[in-house]
Structure 1
Amino acid sequence: MTHVFDMSVRDAVLAHMNGDHGDDNLLIAQAFGPGDDVVSATMTGFDGDGGSWEAHLFDGSRTIVRAAWLGGAITQRPEVRREIVALYDEACRRRGVEPRPHG
């Protein structure tokens, strides 16, 4: 059964990702979704199996991009950061972008 994170955890992660990591959201949505057609993206949710982004496409339409956690299912808040960083690193690899250091 998929783990559902507490609303306060979801709200905090989404506020951080959408407030501080808009470029990362775009890169992830491009890499795991329809590629260059994605012009912006917002992280809309996550659970124990993966994250979801609303991708805004060049033609004005929208689609949901779902990316499974690369390390497998998770249940703890610290694992969320680890898995989002892993998705970012994989998105960089797929898109040919040099990833920034993680602090």
Structure 2
Amino acid sequence: MRSPRYQEQGLGEMVPGRGIELVELLESRDGRLTLLQLADGRTFRSFNIAAGRDLGEEWEDFTANISPMIEGEDVDWISTADVLTARDPEASELLYRRADL
């Protein structure tokens, strides 16, 4: 299933890929903790992201907790394809579920 906003990534500015909803959600929560459940079983604590999308790739990727770095938190590169869910731990609310699950 593709996002209705999905576009092929060519040269130039980033256009919406299959993970654009997650990227926009995480960018809107900048500075607030979001718990990401990853396909490998890990739960990752994200406070901020720097996102991109490579030529020919369907999914965006991001580096979490890098801009700015958060003392005591892991920095990691994550593909949006690997994120199953995103939760707000304060409100105990599911914010995102990958559409093809």
Same fold (TM over 0.5): no
TM-score, scaled relative to structure 1: 0.40
Higher helix share: 1
Higher strand share: 2
